Structure 1
Amino acid sequence: MKLLRVGAKGAEKPAILAADGSIRDLSGVVADIGGETLGPMGLETIRAADMTALPKLEDGQRVGPCVANVGKFICIGLNYADHAAETGAAIPEEPIIFMKATSAIIGPNDDVIIPKNAIKPDWEVELAIVIGTEARYVEEADALDYVAGYCVCNDVSERHFQTERGGTWDKGKGADTFGPIGPWMVTKDEVPDPQNLKMWLEIDGKRYQDGSTKTMIFGVAKVVSYVSQFMSLQPGDIITTGTPPGVGMGIKPDPVWLKPGNVMRLGIEGLGEQTQHVRAYGA
């Protein structure tokens, strides 16, 4: 299933992309796409609904974040061998965990706003995991049982804030609009191998990232298991899993940074595409 949320900010309706390409309103079936709805019982309730009887939503409406009321927005850094190489970083011995503020979350096609005093804004197409079942101390062999599905995430970053302002990476990751997710959350039954998905990102029509989840250092199951050793995972939590090469900071000899007026397009095989226009703060 491809689950999404449609409507104005703060007034999104839960919806599903039907087989005929129409978007159907799930408001009469579930309250929203998030929390308990993403557990096995909630997803089964949606599967059991008669798609042909659900109201069609009008085309052209805004698509909101595909998951509502995200509790934790967890990120794994330097998780692609080829991306680590382009940045000159050593391959991590264990997954690097940091957090994005949940206030960074926006819809997949909402504008991305460069924050005040930004010097080095950058892009990162990433596969995001959506948790469906509460998880604590999960074994890697069982980890996918706790996953509801997957979505596209653009882990927008400000590298000066992230690496040159002291402290942890979080300050370069959590600005408002730095977390577009969607367009859909695709249930895991439709993603038989999350470690074999093509992914790409373009700026103003020029392709910068063209990679695959094959080059992840720590795969989805390992990531879910590992994070659950340090914090419980709740339904609706998101873990975004790192980016392939081609980010702005990795371009030699002169890095490329986002600027107002840029248009980012990105996507992952089977999970849909995003488009964001970049604006300056206050513009």
Structure 2
Amino acid sequence: MKLASIRQASRVALIVELPDGGAALLEDLYRAAALGEAPASLQALIERGDAEVVRLRAALPLHASRLPLVALESVDWLAPQPRTGKILGIAVNNRNLNRVAFREPTHPMIFMKSSTSLTGHQKPIEILQDHGYTIPEPELCAVLGKGGKNIAEKDALSCVFGYTITNDITASGVKFSMDSVALNIGAQNMRPHHTVWREKHGPDDGFLYFTYHTRSKASDTFSPMGPWLTLAADVPDPNKLAVRSWVNGELYTEDSTANYLFPLQRCIAEASRFLTLEAGDIIHFGTAGAGTEKFPMGNRSVNLFEMDGATVDVEFEGLGRLSNVVKRI
């Protein structure tokens, strides 16, 4: 079952994909099936729990043929979960990228994005002059149905409500200009943990390097997401999904979530050690990394800053296709 959030007039509405194609308003299904008041948002549906999904699954095939259709070609798409509490991303979680790592990460590396970075299918990705070199990062997302603290890996996937697609737009230009700094604190002040992740350049190396990802990752429109959210039970193995991405119709990466360095359950469990996860939170698990003949470095070969008007597409096996247009502002 697939669900999506759209804007209809001045309100947010949920739609459901129909078994034979097309889509209908979720509230029309609730009305036809006498299920009571429909949830007003994906968050509201999540908070009703697993029993509500069971009711929906049972009702949809019985009533789908007589539901009014939604004209998908003119829909105002939102991110499937437009009002999440937090968005967590996993950095450099791909074996292709880690081939050049000085030391391969031993734990998932986690960053946060703002909910205001969210935008929907067919919406523009807005790139400022200050953003500079900007790349797409096609990634799998999980929307949590259950939260918790210290979630065990064996239980982690049972916390997922559904899966969707994101393009984790990253402005390397602003990251390595406005948001990075190198400090020389002196070799005498260095501690072992300062260089455990990198090569130490001789006994006089006293440099510390800091990079902060907020503007480069969480600027407005830098989290296009959707269009659909596929319920978790309909994704047999999220750790084995093919992903392909195009810019202006040219394939620039073809990869699989099987190439993640850390599988989804490890990432969810690790995040819950440090942050209390909540129902409705979003986690995305790392970019596709494999390149193509024309784009040998994959997504790193694509500079959206120089591609005003370009169309960027991301397709995940079984989940659908997310499409957005680059807009320099």
TM-score when normalising by structure 1? 0.91
Q: Which residue of 2 aligns with 1:262?
A: 310
Q: Which residue of 2 aligns with 1:41?
A: 51
- Give the conservation status (yes or no) of the 8 Å contact 1:67–1:236: yes
Q: Which residue of 2 aligns with 1:244?
A: 288
Q: Deviations over 1:45-68 (max 9, x none)?
A: 432434425432223222221113
Q: Deviations over 1:81-100 (max 9, x none)?
A: 102336x5642111000011
**Would the alpha carbon gap of residues 143 and 256 (structure 1) be closer, same or farther in structure 2, given more than 3 Å must change?**
closer
Unpaired runs of at least 5, structure 2: 31-37, 181-210
Q: Which residue of 2 aligns with 1:16?
A: 16
Separation (CA, whole Å) in 2 of partners of 1:249 and 1:226: 33
- Give the conservation status (yes or no) of the 8 Å contact 1:184–1:271: yes
- Give the conservation status (yes or no) of the 8 Å contact 1:14–1:33: yes
Counterpart pick for 2:212 among 168, 186, 205: 168
Q: Which residue of 2 aligns with 1:233?
A: 277
- Give the conservation status (yes or no) of the 8 Å contact 1:134–1:234: yes
Equivalent residues in 2 for 1:61-140 (5 A)?
Answer: 61-85=75-99, 88=101, 90-140=103-153
C-alpha deviation, 1:32, in angstroms: 1.4
Counterpart pick for 2:325 among 270, 277, 280: 277
**Would the alpha carbon gap of residues 19 and 213 (structure 1) be closer, same or farther in structure 2, given more than 3 Å must change?**
same
**Would the alpha carbon gap of residues 179 and 22 (structure 1) be closer, same or farther in structure 2, given more than 3 Å must change?**
same
Q: Secondary structure of 1:49's match?
A: helix
Q: Secondary structure of 2:19's match?
A: coil
**Would the alpha carbon gap of residues 35 and 240 (structure 1) be closer, same or farther in structure 2, given more than 3 Å must change?**
farther
C-alpha deviation, 1:117, in angstroms: 1.2
Aligned-residue identity in percent: 27
Counterpart pick for 1:184 among 218, 221, 228: 228
C-alpha deviation, 1:273, in angstroms: 0.2
Separation (CA, whole Å) in 1 of partners of 2:259 and 2:326: 29
Q: Secondary structure of 2:96's match?
A: helix
Q: Secondary structure of 2:131's match?
A: coil
Which is greater in Rg?
2
Unpaired runs of at least 5, structure 1: none
Q: Deviations over 1:119-158 (max 9, x none)?
A: 1111010001110012211100111111111101100110
Q: Which residue of 1 aligns with 2:191?
A: none
Q: Secondary structure of 1:34's match?
A: helix
C-alpha deviation, 1:175, in angstroms: 0.8
Most deviating of 65-74 and 33-42: 33-42
C-alpha deviation, 1:204, in angstroms: 1.0
- Give the conservation status (yes or no) of the 8 Å contact 1:3–1:17: yes
- Give the conservation status (yes or no) of the 8 Å contact 1:113–1:177: yes
Counterpart pick for 1:154 among 164, 167, 188: 167
Q: Which residue of 2 aligns with 1:217?
A: 261
**Would the alpha carbon gap of residues 72 and 125 (structure 1) be closer, same or farther in structure 2, given more than 3 Å must change?**
same
C-alpha deviation, 1:246, in angstroms: 4.8
- Give the conservation status (yes or no) of the 8 Å contact 2:136–2:302: no
- Which amino acid counterpart does residue 11 of structure 1 have in structure 2? R
Q: Secondary structure of 1:145's match?
A: helix
- Give the conservation status (yes or no) of the 8 Å contact 1:30–1:37: no
- Which amino acid counterpart does residue 92 of structure 2 have in structure 1? L
Separation (CA, whole Å) in 1 of partners of 2:144 and 2:226: 15
Q: How many residues align?
A: 279
Q: Which has the higher helix share?
A: 2
Separation (CA, whole Å) in 1 of partners of 2:246 and 2:230: 22
- Give the conservation status (yes or no) of the 8 Å contact 1:26–1:54: no
